[in-house]
Amino acid sequence: MKKEDFIIVAIDGGAASGKSSTSKILSDRLGLLYVNSGSHYRALTWAILQRGIPPHRVDKIEAFLKFLEVDYKIKGREAHMTLGACVPAEEIRSPEVNQAVSTIAAIRAVRKFLLPRQRSYVEVARQHAFDGLIMEGRDVGTVIFPEADFRFFLLADEAERTRRRQWEGQVDSIRERDRLDKERKTAPLIHSEGAIKVDTTPLTLQEVADKLTGIILAGKK
Ligand code: CDP
Ligand code: CDP
């Protein structure tokens, strides 16, 4: 890969398919800024619940978004979204957030609020002299960056994904979140044509990372 070649890598897939861990390895290996777009939905969900707004109150959520100031902070190779003066951390992985996040992510106004901010990370990555951007989530290769240089779709059996989450000590209804994410009208989780499918069920994290790195370095789309 030539130094001047700035690349955008999009990784989508269901819960615990390996998106975050794989993206972090690729970000280190290839010098890419890493953005976890799921953390944006989690942070908003956390802030909404903190204010006592129920996840189905679209009117109150829209009003809340009108006055919300978001920005970003870079730590190492990762960009984190900030809400006002707050940088949301581990609290966004709580069982309450796991349970509400897909309902809030299905709200059109919430997605409309985040989309331009998510796209703006290309400029952030360039300004900070990264060799590219790697973003992962549910609609990165379909809606946020349909023109990404590399689009991947990670899969894994549900039993394996449940095992991975339990091993991390997480209380998370993967099946229900996947159902809501696939069935919503706006930006559903789908495998789009042209995205490279990788079944991670039988693979170790290193094997998945090696496979994706190989594809990127070979310049295949
Ligand atoms: O880490 P995990 O795969 O379990 O979830 P996440 O990436 O943190 O995303 C949490 C939730 O945010 C997902 O279940 C989706 O409802 C939503 N999300 C989305 O709608 N679009 C994205 N690009 C990323 C996440
Ligand atoms: O981001 P996403 O929810 O898709 O998954 P993750 O947080 O990267 O991975 C969930 C867990 O599965 C982590 O503990 C990973 O180390 C593990 N994992 C694995 O055991 N084998 C893989 N091929 C990928 C991830």
How high is the pLDDT of residue 5? 86
How high is the pLDDT of residue 221? 45
Please give the average per-residue pLDDT across 39-50, as a whole number: 97
Residue 22 is given by DSSP the state H
Listed range (67-76, 163-172, 186-195) with the worst mean pLDDT: 163-172
Residue 140 Cα: closest atom of ligand 1: 23
Please give the average per-residue pLDDT across 91-112, as a whole number: 96
CA gap 133, 77 in Å, rounded: 10
CB-ligand 1 contact for 46 (6 Å cutoff) = no
- Residues paired with residue 136 on neighbouring β-strands, in sequence order: 11, 36
- At residue 2, does pLDDT exceed 70? no
Residue 15 Cα: closest atom of ligand 2: 3
pLDDT tens-digit series, residues 209-218: 999 999 999 9
Domains in the chain (CATH in brackets) are: 3-219 (3.40.50.300)
Q: How far is the CA of 161 from the centre of ligand 1 (A)?
A: 14
How high is the pLDDT of residue 4? 61
How high is the pLDDT of residue 203? 96
How high is the pLDDT of residue 178? 94
CB-ligand 1 contact for 101 (6 Å cutoff) = yes
Residues with CB under 6 A from ligand 2: 13, 15-21, 164, 168, 200, 203-205, 208
Residue 174 Cα: closest atom of ligand 1: 4
Please state at what angle helix 108-119 crosses helix 58-66, rounded to 10 degrees: 30
Q: How far is the CA of 84 from the centre of ligand 2 (A)?
A: 30
Higher pLDDT, 220 or 22: 22
Split at pLDDT 50, 70, 90, the class of 170 is confident
CB-ligand 1 contact for 13 (6 Å cutoff) = no
56 Cβ neighbours under 8 A, 6+ residues apart: 103
CB-ligand 1 contact for 15 (6 Å cutoff) = yes
pLDDT tens-digit series, residues 108-162: 999 999 999 999 999 999 999 999 999 999 999 999 999 999 999 999 999 999 9
Average pLDDT, the chain: 94
Select from 134, 171, 177 the residue to mutate for testing ligand 1; criterion: most ligand atoms less than 8 Å from CB: 177
Split at pLDDT 50, 70, 90, the class of 94 is very high
How high is the pLDDT of residue 88? 87
Q: How far is the CA of 4 from the centre of ligand 1 (A)?
A: 31
- Listing DSSP states for 98-147 in one string gives HHHHHHHHT-HHHHHHHHHHHHTHHHHHHHTT-SEEEEEESSIIIII-TT
> How many percent of the chain have pLDDT more than 70?
97
pTM for the structure as a whole: 0.96
